[in-house]
Amino acid sequence: MKSTLLLGTRKGFIAYRFQNNQWKMENCSFEGVPVSIAYADPRNGTWWCCQDHGHWGVKLQRSKDRGKTWEEVAAPAYPEGEEVKDGMPATTRYLWSMAHGGSNHASRLWIGTDPGGLFVSEDEGNSFQLVESLWKHPTRKEGWFGGGRDLPGIHSIVVDPRNDDHIHIGISCAGVFETNDGGKSWAITNKGLRADFLPDPKQETGHDPHIVVAAPSNPDALWQQNHCGIFRSTDGARNWEDVSEPEGPARFGFAIAVAHDNPDQAWVAPADSDVNRTAVKNSLFICRTDDGGKTWKQLRKGLPQENCFDIVYRHALVSDGDAVVFGTTTGNLFFSPDRGENWEVINNYLPMIYSIQFAD
């Protein structure tokens, strides 16, 4: 297990450090400012803070000394004249995902935004450029639309560790797109997904993955928690299979995490439904599968089982080694040292938690 947790919250950037067998807060920065994503680049240890200042717009901060000092860098910006739709100018409304560019592109960073643009930096984040090949994809203006947000958003960026130019992205609402050439061209990889909210649930775009992740031990095994269920691919997203529980709680939710050493083991955080987005029967639990979604186990020990309304946002459930951590919409932060069998509280009094990442 890595020794650091980075949290993006409704009221700031928070870092915890595991010392003497317990988690202790190491850093609290930008108190009062919404942080959509807290991110650590594993290649160089730089911490990134994606900020949402509401009326004042987005800002991007980085720290090279574990949060002791921060430097603001220019946030991704759409070129003048770009439009979300005809007559609607494109401006960066939200920074929703961040990923490093791989070991062979040491200076490359990716950022996904609302209103659906992907940006890349080739100079360690000093400047970002819109990936025009995706922005100008023929399906975008008519086939992409907002889900939980008013406009489309790129919330997932999955870089293949075997090939830095092979990337999957998740877009709400559009689906999963793939590039094999570092973003020069894109293919739609939504076969097997359903969009039950559309007239044609199997149409090419318009799908609503809530998050897309790849198994560290087998990057061809991808998982997504989708608006319409839990889906898994074993062939690099060419085909997706619904692995939800038909009658059980492992169906609707936002977050998913996959074990580092087993592509068949994954965790989800169920919510009641897409209409009633609260804890299932007012109790908090995580579901885990050990067999690729054939069966799911409810993990409740140490979690509140009554009078609970918490749910877990898409970036707020993570695993590393035997450790699993998740944070909730009411600021509760939980840790399991044994893959979810037992849970303990790190803190009950945090702001709403948007994102969590394990870091060194």
C-beta neighbour count of 115 within 10 angstroms: 26
Cα maximum dimension of the chain = 57
Tell me the three state secondary structure of residue 105: coil
Q: Residues near 185 by Cβ (< 8 Å), separated by ≥ 6?
A: 133, 179
Structural tokens at position 227: 């608006």
> Rounded to whole angstroms, how far apart are CA atoms 107 and 279?
41
In single-letter form, the type of residue at position 131 comes to: V
- What pLDDT digit, counting tens, does each position of 65-109 carry? 999 999 999 999 999 999 999 999 999 999 999 999 999 999 999
Question: Model-level pTM?
Answer: 0.98
- What pLDDT digit, counting tens, does each position of 22-67 carry? 999 999 999 999 999 999 999 999 999 999 998 899 999 999 999 9
Among 106, 218, 224, 212, smallest CA distance to 160 is for 218
Q: Which domains does the chain have, with CATH numbers?
A: 38-45+80-359 (2.130.10.10)
pLDDT score recorded for residue 148: 83
pLDDT score recorded for residue 55: 87
> Rounded to whole angstroms, how far apart are CA atoms 234 and 53?
39
Q: Are 23 and 346 in contact (CB under 8 A)?
A: yes
Q: Residues near 180 by Cβ (< 8 Å), separated by ≥ 6?
A: 163, 165, 166, 187
Among 102, 133, 101, smallest CA distance to 118 is for 133
Sheet holding 109-114, edge to edge: 94-100, 109-114, 118-121, 129-130
Structural tokens at position 57: 């717009």
Any alpha helices (H) in 163-240, and if so which ranges?
A: none
> Rg of the chain's alpha carbons, rounded to an integer?
19
- What pLDDT digit, counting tens, does each position of 169-195 carry? 999 999 999 999 999 999 999 999 999
Q: Are 214 and 233 in contact (CB under 8 A)?
A: no
- What pLDDT digit, counting tens, does each position of 229-277 carry? 999 999 999 999 999 999 999 999 999 999 999 999 999 999 999 888 9
Among 149, 265, 168, 153, smallest CA distance to 217 is for 265
pLDDT score recorded for residue 326: 99
Across 271-295, average pLDDT: 96
Mean pLDDT of the chain, nearest integer? 97
